[in-house]
Amino acid sequence: DSATAFGCLMSDMWLGEFDYVSPEAFHSIFGKRYPAFSRRTQHDAQEFLICVLDDLHEAFKEVRAQLWQGRHSSDAGTSRGSGSGTSIITKLFEGQLSYGIRCLKCKALSDRPESFTVLSLPIPSTRVCSLQDCLECFFQPDTLTRNNQIHCYWCGGNQDATVKASITKAPQIIIFHLKRFAWQDKHRRKLSTTVCYPFSHLDLSPYSTASCNKAEYSLCAVVNHAGDLDYGHYTAFCKHSVTKHWYSFDDAQVTKIPDSAVQADTAYLLFY
């Protein structure tokens, strides 16, 4: 299956015996499960990433559930086990948001929790902005009116409301998707905005609840997209976990790069 193929790919990469490793076998097997990614046309890296994480989660979750069932096979009518909803993927990548919704008529406040593995951040400028600007835009309060009204339990009818998202659980690894492909003037186009992102000391406490686990993040990888809507090329920058040096992955070309080169206008996915 694709999880086994992914494991083989990781093993080949960490052996250090090759100048580069092709993911051809993993791509072939993954494409059979997700036919949309089997073709040699351009696809969105963020959509692909979410599918890979979901696929690995399901595979590892099933293995855990089978082990649990094996240990409790003597119990008649046993369910999948209390831990069957978690996996190494959820432990590493899954965070929790809470949407605080306040009715503007009776001022009643309700919370709606939602889990996430990737935060898709709007880019509030066409020229230059910072990652903090993107985060501020994502977490700013919004007003729900007209067709977006809420049904207030306390008022008993549809009412205008405000909604504000907060992080209630910060994941060990947080992934930001910069929404470079956006609609402008009824046309979908790619934003080439320079987004400046910190390499270390990224503090999410301004966007978190008081009870959230406090953590500062450091940049560990960047996925870049060069090109336009219908064509382009993906590359990656990754930080070595031991030497702390940065490397560029561009197909079969793997090269060491200076820290200054990691800040790129082509950044599309940020891993902290």
pLDDT digits (tens, 9 = 90+) for 21-58: 999 999 999 999 999 998 777 889 999 999 999 999 99
Angle at 179 between CA 173 and CA 181, to 5 degrees: 140
Q: Note the pLDDT of residue 187.
A: 79
Nearest partner of 116 among 194, 168, 72, 164, judged by Cα: 168
**Pairing of β 128-130 and β 142-144:** unpaired
- Co-location of 120 and 63 in the same domain: no
Is residue 159 a contact partner of residue 105, using CB atoms and an 8 Å limit?
yes
**What pLDDT score does 264 carry?**
95
Which of the residues in the chain have pLDDT under 50?
68, 71-84
Q: Is residue 222 part of a domain?
A: yes
Grouping H, G, I as helix, E, B as strand and the rest as coil, residue 253 is: strand
d(CA 252, CA 21): 8
Q: Are residues 25 and 129 in the same domain?
A: no
**Burial call 199-234: b when 16+ CB within 10 Å, e when fewer:** eeebebeebbeeebeeeebebbbbbbbeeeeeeeeb
- Whether 240 and 196 have beta carbons less than 8 Å apart is answered as no
8 plus 133 within the same structural domain: no
CATH of the domain at 255: 3.90.70.10
Domain housing 41: 1-67+87-93
CA distance 187 to 166: 31
Q: Say what the pLDDT of residue 185 is.
A: 72
In a domain, 37, yes or no: yes
Integer-rounded Cα radius of gyration of the chain:
22
Could you tell me if 131 and 222 lie in one domain? yes
What is the helix (H) or strand (E) element at residue 28, kind and residue range? helix 24-33
The number of distinct structural domains making up the chain is 2
Backbone dihedral angles phi then psi of residue 203, each to the nearest 5 degrees = -105, 120
260 with 199, same domain: the answer is yes
38 belongs to a structural domain: yes
Q: Give the pLDDT score at 79.
A: 32
Question: Do 61 and 125 lie in a common domain?
Answer: no
Q: Is 74 part of a structural domain of the chain?
A: no
In total, the chain counts a number of residues equal to 272
Amino acid occupying residue 143: T
- Residues whose CB is less than 8 angstroms from the CB of residue 21 and which lie 6 or more positions away in sequence, other chains included: 9, 12, 13
